[in-house]
Amino acid sequence: MFTKVNCKTINRIGKNSHAVVIGAGMSGLLASRVLLEHFDCETIIERDRLPQQPETRRGVPQANHVHTLLLQGQQILEQLFPGIEAELTTGGAPSVDWSSEYYFLNVWGWASLSPSDLITRSCSRNFLECLVRKRLSSYTNLKFITATQVRGLVSDESNSKITGVQISSHKESEEQLAADLVVDASGRNSLLPKWLEKIGYQAPRQTVINSFGGYSTCWYEVPENYQADWKGIVVATKPPQDKRGGFLCLVEGNRWAATAIGTAKDYPPTDQDGFMEFLRSLRTPLIYEAIKDARPISPVYGYRRMENSWNHYEKLSKLPEGLIAIGDAVCAFNPHYGQGMTVSALGALTLDLCLREQLQRSPDSLRGLTKRFQSKLAKRLKNPWLMTTSEDCRWETTKGRQMNILTKLMHGYMDQILLLSVKDAKIYKKFLEVVLMVKAPQSLFAPNILAKVLMHSLDSSTVPQQTK
């Protein structure tokens, strides 16, 4: 059976144009918002039933863990959904000044704090995703088809163009949904490489860099009258010896999400006692001290699929027209740096840009869009990829580790930045701007910072005692 979605004709990308998005995770939702500007109508296909309230669902198990929306991600979300920041606030998401309200224990000591405008709303992934979904559901030309799985691509006779997807809500029944553009946003476990092979294309080469990390997270009710001058605590791991770290953050509903982080296979336990013991064993027991008398309101959730993996669609010499891959389906990161949703937002903006260019090049066709988009997206992925993987490469046991002279220089330079961050609040702020993705890593090489780093590294007497 071939279902043709009935669209109102506005004539943007062609007449009666229809885009299909696979997956209602953050990248699917954000891409959908952008597609609404360019297509007459749109369908999001999601294999889960989507809850009305903020709840974890099967397809996004990582939502049980801390999900930080970086400043750049927040800015893009506000651009796509004006007023969403205010809605987060109304929903109880506290505002957090990263440079004064997060305690950060880096490898050298506690970072030097001072107030700044690096402020984000701190919320759970479930709350954020639910808000975005609600915003999208107000568009009458956008339809969600839920509890339905995409099982493959439909292509034209020559397999040069994707013309739709095969979907099924039950194992036995399968139908096809026609589309002018198919966007794969089905996440880390995307089957797109296999679907492409099935219609005669090569699967993309994949780069995997795995430091074998794991999270265990438990949610707590913040005790009544709890007083602290922080809203979050970050305890970084310390290669090569200390594989353990932790994260505590205040989110909506007066809750804390406490995460134990293990690297190089030092996986944190998922039983309550083991979890607490792990947090107590960190270089500082501050997170443990905060939560030890708080009431847990969830089990301890574990997660171990943390590798960085990049499907290089941009390197394929041939790709069918009418197809885009986005989000974790292209590049998934070790979540240590909290980049995933922000990179999804960047992907959505890149798609918008490419579609605008497309309209100028050839208003009635999507020819060339696939290759242009995947290549532009790859350029945007370079910096976040470099940041995460270069840190993961500090562990000798990291699979796919590439240690060249550049990585070693980067490590040395970043060590100096972290060391300076302990004494110099201005440098710490510069570092945070990069972490929050509002500045490129290259900004840390600005002449004034470079000069400080060089002077500091020449004066060995300024190196403080490392914490434990």
Ligand X SMILES: Cc1cc2nc3c(=O)[nH]c(=O)nc-3n(C[C@H](O)[C@H](O)[C@H](O)COP(=O)(O)OP(=O)(O)OC[C@H]3O[C@@H](n4cnc5c(N)ncnc54)[C@H](O)[C@@H]3O)c2cc1C
Residues of this chain that bind ligand X (CB under 6 A): 22-28, 45-48, 59-60, 62, 65-68, 149-150, 185-188, 215, 303, 327-329, 335, 338-342, 344
Distance (Å, whole) CA 300 – CA 313 = 36
Q: Cβ 342 to ligand X, closest distance in Å? A: 5
Q: Indicate the length of the chain as a whole number.
A: 468
Check the CA dihedral 45-49-55-59 and report its sign. negative
Q: Cβ 397 to ligand X, closest distance in Å? A: 20
Q: Cβ 103 to ligand X, closest distance in Å? A: 17
Q: Cβ 27 to ligand X, closest distance in Å? A: 4
Looking at beta carbons only, is 54 or 59 nearer to ligand X? 59
Q: Cβ 216 to ligand X, closest distance in Å? A: 10
Q: What is the DSSP letter of 302?
A: E
* Residue 48 half-sphere exposure toward CB, CA atoms < 13 A: 14
Looking at beta carbons only, is 349 or 425 nearer to ligand X? 349
Looking at beta carbons only, is 59 or 109 nearer to ligand X? 59
In this structure, what is the dihedral angle of CA atoms 380, 89, 60, 333, given to the nearest 10 degrees? 30
Looking at beta carbons only, is 60 or 300 nearer to ligand X? 60
Looking at beta carbons only, is 43 or 344 nearer to ligand X? 344
Q: Which residues pair with 42 in a beta bridge?
A: 19, 142
Closest Cα partner for 98 from 118, 114, 113?
A: 118
Q: Cβ 289 to ligand X, closest distance in Å? A: 23
Looking at beta carbons only, is 420 or 437 nearer to ligand X? 437
In this structure, what is the dihedral angle of CA atoms 249, 251, 255, 261, given to the nearest 10 degrees? -30
Which tokens sit at 54?
């903020």
Distance (Å, whole) CA 155 – CA 288 = 55
Q: Cβ 187 to ligand X, closest distance in Å? A: 3
Distance (Å, whole) CA 246 – CA 236 = 7
Looking at beta carbons only, is 65 or 231 nearer to ligand X? 65
Give me the sheet containing 206-209, strands edge to edge: 206-209, 308-311, 331-332
Q: Cβ 367 to ligand X, closest distance in Å? A: 26
Q: Which residues pair with 150 in a beta bridge?
A: 167
Distance (Å, whole) CA 377 – CA 355 = 13
Q: Cβ 251 to ligand X, closest distance in Å? A: 11
Q: Cβ 137 to ligand X, closest distance in Å? A: 15
* Residue 412 half-sphere exposure toward CB, CA atoms < 13 A: 13
Looking at beta carbons only, is 239 or 335 nearer to ligand X? 335
- The residue behind tokens 């009935």 is 6
Looking at beta carbons only, is 194 or 295 nearer to ligand X? 194
Question: Could you check whether the bond before residue 240 is cis, i.e. omega within 30 degrees of 0?
Answer: yes
Q: Cβ 306 to ligand X, closest distance in Å? A: 6
Looking at beta carbons only, is 332 or 419 nearer to ligand X? 332
Distance (Å, whole) CA 338 – CA 103 = 16
Q: Cβ 37 to ligand X, closest distance in Å? A: 19
Distance (Å, whole) CA 338 – CA 206 = 21
* Residue 216 half-sphere exposure toward CB, CA atoms < 13 A: 22
- Alpha-helix runs per DSSP H in 94-139: 125-136
Distance (Å, whole) CA 112 – CA 164 = 54
Burial of residue 211, with CB atoms counted within 10 A of its CB: 0-12 exposed, 13-18 middle, 19 or more buried = buried
Closest Cα partner for 270 from 61, 102, 55?
A: 61
Looking at beta carbons only, is 66 or 324 nearer to ligand X? 66
Looking at beta carbons only, is 109 or 302 nearer to ligand X? 302
Residue 389 contacts residue 382 (beta carbons within 8 Å): no
